[in-house]
Amino acid sequence: MNYIDAHSHIWTPDTDHYPLAAGFRRANMEPASFTVAELQAQMKPAGVNRVVLIQMSFYGWDNSYMLDAIAAHPKMFSGVAVINQDQANPAAEMVKLKAQGVRGFRIYPQNRDFDRWLDTDGLRKMFAAGADHNLAMCCLMDTNGLPALSKMCGQYPKTPVVIDHLCRIGVSGTISDADVASLCAMSKHQNVNVKVSAFYALGKKAPPYHDLAPLIRRVYEAFGPERLMWATDCPYQVVDHKYQESIDLILKGLDFLTPADKENILTKTAERVYFN
């Protein structure tokens, strides 16, 4: 079986051709380089043949490096872009980027009140365009933003939504039962999916990551394997840990997963959302 890594960032030290956004410096690039070739060197030995590329923050709204990677490897990469989520009419830009291999758009609370972080005209238009063009809203957030997201999902039930990194539950080192319950409650929205990812940053933050099994099992029981997708969050997964350690948690470390479950989590869900 070939697998899909549903979340990896790439960047290049060639800042002449791919300049950083205002407010960012080369020192923000840690590690200093994680190019397409460096990603391929990590993914291929693990049996991963497709990756969802996530626009890196220090490029701002300039998605050029990611788009060039997709153009060079259209069967290998799909993309999640970052655009100005406060612009008056984002739909035209979203459709243009879809034609270039983008299948999702990253959104996040920024500096807004968590209860109202989605309460803008621009984001409502993004959700509407997502429903019209089958483009996912990809949410980097903590559980305190879920009530507002749930409200938006109720208003736009056809919009695909992906919650990144198990909603960052366990980043503090503690996995709160209330936080897990809040995430699981989002399963009532049929187009909400969850990335089972970034294990290096959650719970005990140490391979083989078996301490995350109870959290993953509860999310699995709530959403089903058809709405879960595995991802590494490279290059951060491979700074101190190994790429294979991430995928091995799904392949070998969760005894409640059937072979069909693993196929969904490692391939089919991400394929449906990002490679259609």
pTM of the model as a whole: 0.97
Token pair recorded at residue 211? 């301490």
Nearest CA to 10 out of 61, 85, 68 is that of: 68
List own/partner pairs for 23-31 with CB under 8 A and 24 or more apart.
Answer: 24/57, 24/58, 24/60, 28/58, 29/58, 31/235, 31/239
- What is the tens place of the pLDDT at every residue in 71-102? 999 999 999 999 998 888 899 999 999 999 99
- What is the tens place of the pLDDT at every residue in 107-135? 999 778 889 999 999 999 999 999 999 99
Task: Give the CATH number for residue 128.
Answer: 3.20.20.140
58, pLDDT greater than 90: yes
Nearest CA to 212 out of 242, 253, 162 is that of: 253
Per the structure, how many domains does the chain have?
1
Cβ 117 vs Cβ 148: under 8 Å: yes
In angstroms and rounded to an integer, the radius of gyration of the C-alpha atoms of the chain is 17
Nearest CA to 135 out of 160, 154, 156, 157 is that of: 160
- What is the tens place of the pLDDT at every residue in 229-274? 999 999 999 999 999 999 999 999 999 999 999 999 999 999 999 9
- Residue 176 is part of which domain span? 3-274
